[in-house]
Structures are given as structure tokens and as C-alpha cells.
Amino acid sequence: MHQLTSTEKKAATSLALVFSSRMLGLFMLLPVFAIYGADLVGFSPLWIGLAIGAYGFTQALLQIPMGWLSDKIGRHKVMLLGLALFAVGSVVAALADSVYMVTIGRVLQGAGAIAGAVLALAADLTREEQRPKVMAIIGMSIGLSFAAAMVLGPMIAARYGLSGVFWFTAGLALLAMLAVQLTPKAISKAPQRETLAVPALLATLVRSPQLSRLNLGILLLHFMLTALFIALPQQLVQLDFGSESHWRLYVPVLLLSFVLMVPMIIISVRKRKEVGFFRTALVLLLLAALLFWLAPLNLPGISLALLLFFTGFNYLEASLPALLSRLAPAGQKGTAMGLYSSAQFFGAFLGGLTGGLVASWFGLQAVFVLSALATLGWLLLTLGMQLPGKSERLSIDLTEKTEEESQTLLEHIAQLPGVLEATLVLTERRCYLKVEAGLFDYQQLKALS
């Protein structure tokens, strides 16, 4: 059974559409707001940052609670609620004549924090051995939505203005709601601890040094992304590079960055040089920030800096979730991913707020100095970075066994070659395993259980 079933394919397609359409709507503001928002009442560098990053604040705040709510009232209901909030926020922003109302609209957009519910439903609808494929499809759709946003944002804004971008995102939300209705209903729930955050585990994982490095890393990555688009669009306008043509720069740069990033990922995995390539990607981000700051203001210099930035950004964006999955303890992946997602969105908010303040006080160039300092800090954090061997996750249903039988089974399983961690959760009647890829014998587990 190495192929996706028709239900799994349908789930992967519809949920990728839901996830990507929503992220597309959020990303589209990045390349256009600093230019097309200039006519709004109250427009300033600070409010550019607040409006761009505001969605991150409510996303970070509500990401984990909305996932818990989906466990109580159902995944579909939470997804429809979140998309409705996103649509309302889009309409509020589309009708706004001040930067303050746009920011309120962005707060409402972010309140539709459905990432946890989407990923949990994807897990509910897929078999354990096929789950990584479906999650990868959804993950790839996010990268594609970012690339599409860099093209569609400037094109729509050039023709219909900033309000046109928000009306388009409202339409995307309605399209995503239709996709939710077409998504199969889950008959059974996947193991909760591998899909959603568990409140009792949050404090433990926050204190984990290795996981904290990754959470702070994704926070800084999205901090830099949001801050970049406070300054970059205005620099391009200063070069008399028309705002309607910005997509002509973003498209080739993004495509080339993907071409450069893929070999980095392949080589890092094959040669087991993940930490080295991780630091290389950070050096690319640092070089990009220094180029933006120190190089003469011209299109070739900006293009090179942007290429370096997105090559490093795309590598880290793709690598961090995989590293997190390897580091998260058995039975705690859902909690680890919940914290990670919250840190990611909070980074977008902080990047907008801090970048806007720095641009207001010290000018646009100071935003790039801020990014360079953030990257240097991140590089220092990697000095104590340690990665375990490649691992896989399993869960075993123990509903037919007594507590004593479950305890005995756990002791035997923990002794099997290749078992890194084994956790028994009696309240769920389930055993969670983290095993070393290539060393673990699945037949032995089958014979035991």
C-alpha cells in the first residue's frame, strides 16, 4: 500500500487549496502595501509595518486554541469559521480609507487561524504511512502560494488598487469555503498528540533548548521577511522601476532561488550536512542584508540581494519543519508544531512592528541593518545546535489491551533495536514511538503487538 487512496488524494488536493488560497491572500499585501497604501489616511512607515504584520499577532494568539476547538466541535466547522473571519477582514480592509481600518481588517484576517484544524483533518483522513506525503503536498502549496502572491499582488494592485487586492482575497476565502465543503468528512481521528497541541506539554517544550532554537529561528525568519517588504518596494520605486512591473523582478528571482535551493536540500540530506547547510543559508541571508544596506541603489544590486535572500529563506522554510519533526519527543509532535506555527506568525507581527518603528526613526536603510543583526544573532544560536539521526514516528492502538498489558508491551517495545523513544499515554490507550530510520524492524513490532 504505497499509493494514496482516492480519499487521501481528494483530501490532499482540497486541503492544499484551502491552505494555499488563504496564505496567498495574506502574502499578497507584502509587495504592494508600502506603495499603494500611500493614499490612506494615517499612512506612515510604522503603520506600513503594523498593517502588514497585524495578521501575525492574531494568528500567533489563536493558532493553538483554534486547533483545540476543532477537536471539540469538528474540523470543518472551525475551518469554515476561520475562512468566514478571513473574508470579513478582507472586506473591512477593501472598504477602508485609513491605514487604521486596514490594520483592523488584517487583525480579523489573522483571527481565522485554521492551520491546526487543516493539518489535523489531513491527518484524520490519511493512513499513518501515507501521512507524510499528504503533509508534504500541503507544505509545497504554501511555497507556491508565496511565489504566486509576489506576481498577483503587484498585477492586481496596478490595475485595481489596494482595495482590489483585498476584494480578491475575499473571493479566495469564498473559494476555500467551497473547497472545505468538498473535503471528505473524517470517520476517525488521528492520534491527537501527533496532530494538535496538548496544553500540559506546552511548558515542557518551551524549555527544550534544541526546539527553542528552531522556534526562535522561524520567528526571526518571518521577522526578516516582513521587515524586508517595508523597505524594498519603496526602494524599487525610487529607482523609477514602476510598481506595476515589480512582479517582473520577483518572478525570475523566486524561480532561480528555487533552482538553487533544491540541490542544497538534496546534498545536505545525502551527505548528512544539515547543520552546515543551515548555517550556509543564514550566511546567504546575512549577505543579502549587507548588500541591501551597503551596495549602491541600483536594480542589479537589489536583484542579487533578493536572490541571496530568497535562496536562504526558501531553504530554511523547507528545512525547519523537518528538523522540528526529528527533534520533537514521541507523542509531542502536535504540541511542537503548534508552538512552531505560533512563533512563525508572531515573527511576522514583530517584523512589521519593529521594522516600521526602525524605518520611522532611522530611515529605510536601517531596516536592512536590523535584518543583518537578527541574522547574526541567529548564527550565534546555531553554535549549540545538535541534530539526531533521521527518525520516523509511529503510534500503536492499545484499546484492546489492559493497563498492565500495555505497560508490559511498552517495556518490550523500548528494547527493540532502533527505538529512540516510546511513550505510553493511558488516557488515549495509545503508544507513541520515535524510531531510527533504516534500523527499526517493523516486523518485530508487528510480532510483539
30 and 157 in a common domain: yes
373 and 230 in a common domain: yes
The CA distance from 417 to 341, in Å, is 33
Residue 2 binned pLDDT confidence (cut-offs 50, 70, 90): low
Helix (H, G, I), strand (E, B) or coil at 435: strand
Least confident of 48-52, 146-150, 278-282, 356-360: 146-150
The answer to whether residue 191 is domain-embedded is no
pLDDT at 157: 92
Backbone angles phi, psi at 174, to 5 degrees: -65, -40
The answer to whether residue 195 is domain-embedded is no
399 and 374 in a common domain: no
Between 370 and 442, the more confident residue is 370
- DSSP string of 319-379, one letter each residue: HHHHHHHHHSPTT-HHHHHHHHHHHHHHHHHHHHHHHHHHHHHH-THHHHHHHHHHHHHHH
Angle CA 195–333–181, to nearest 5: 20
424 and 357 in a common domain: no
153 and 142 in a common domain: yes
Neighbours of 384 (CB within 10 A): 9
Mean pLDDT of 29-42: 90
Longest dimension (CA), the chain: 74
Backbone angles phi, psi at 49, to 5 degrees: -65, -40
- Domain holding 14: CATH number? 1.20.1250.20
Torsional class of 226: left (φ above 0), alpha (ψ -120 to 50), beta (otherwise): alpha
pLDDT at 376: 95
Mean pLDDT of 28-52: 90
273 and 164 in a common domain: no
The answer to whether residue 358 is domain-embedded is yes
pLDDT at 307: 95
Select the highest-mean-pLDDT range: 34-38, 150-154, 200-204, 220-224: 220-224
pLDDT at 262: 86
Residue 355 binned pLDDT confidence (cut-offs 50, 70, 90): very high
Angle CA 378–295–350, to nearest 5: 35
The answer to whether residue 203 is domain-embedded is no
Please give the DSSP secondary-structure letter assigned to residue 429: T
Cell matching residue 170: 475575499
Reply yes or no on whether the pLDDT at 1 is more than 50. Answer: no
Q: What is the mean pLDDT of the chain?
A: 85
The answer to whether residue 190 is domain-embedded is no
Beta-carbon contacts of residue 332 (< 8 Å; ≥ 6 apart) = 193, 198, 201, 204, 205, 423
The answer to whether residue 193 is domain-embedded is no
The CA distance from 63 to 68, in Å, is 9
- Domain holding 398: CATH number? 3.30.70.100
74 and 60 in a common domain: yes
pLDDT at 70: 84
Q: Are 177 and 319 in contact (CB under 8 A)?
A: no
pLDDT at 138: 80
The answer to whether residue 198 is domain-embedded is no
Segment 298-343, tens digit of pLDDT: 889 999 999 999 999 989 988 888 788 777 776 777 788 888 888 9
395 and 383 in a common domain: no
The answer to whether residue 234 is domain-embedded is yes
The CA distance from 201 to 415, in Å, is 25
| Pairing mode of beta strands 419-425, 391-397 | unpaired
Reply yes or no on whether the pLDDT at 88 is more than 60. Answer: yes
Between 226 and 187, the more confident residue is 226
180 and 81 in a common domain: yes
Domain boundary among 388, 407, 426: 388
Reply yes or no on whether the pLDDT at 215 is more than 60. Answer: yes
Mean pLDDT of 209-230: 90
141 and 84 in a common domain: yes
Beta-carbon contacts of residue 269 (< 8 Å; ≥ 6 apart) = none
435 and 384 in a common domain: no
Question: Among residues 163, 159, 142, which one has the least CA distance to residue 33?
Answer: 163
Neighbours of 200 (CB within 10 A): 8
Cβ-count burial 299-314 (b if 16+ within 10 Å, e if not): eeebebbbbbbbbbbb
Q: Are 221 and 347 in contact (CB under 8 A)?
A: yes
**Tally of domains within the chain:** 3
Q: What percent of the chain has pLDDT over 70?
A: 94
Cell matching residue 8: 487521501
384 and 400 in a common domain: no
Beta-carbon contacts of residue 374 (< 8 Å; ≥ 6 apart) = 220, 223, 224
Residue 291 binned pLDDT confidence (cut-offs 50, 70, 90): very high
Structural domain of residue 362, as residue ranges?
Answer: 208-388
pLDDT at 144: 82
Domain boundary among 370, 388, 406: 388
The CA distance from 408 to 105, in Å, is 55
Reply yes or no on whether the pLDDT at 60 is more than 70. Answer: yes
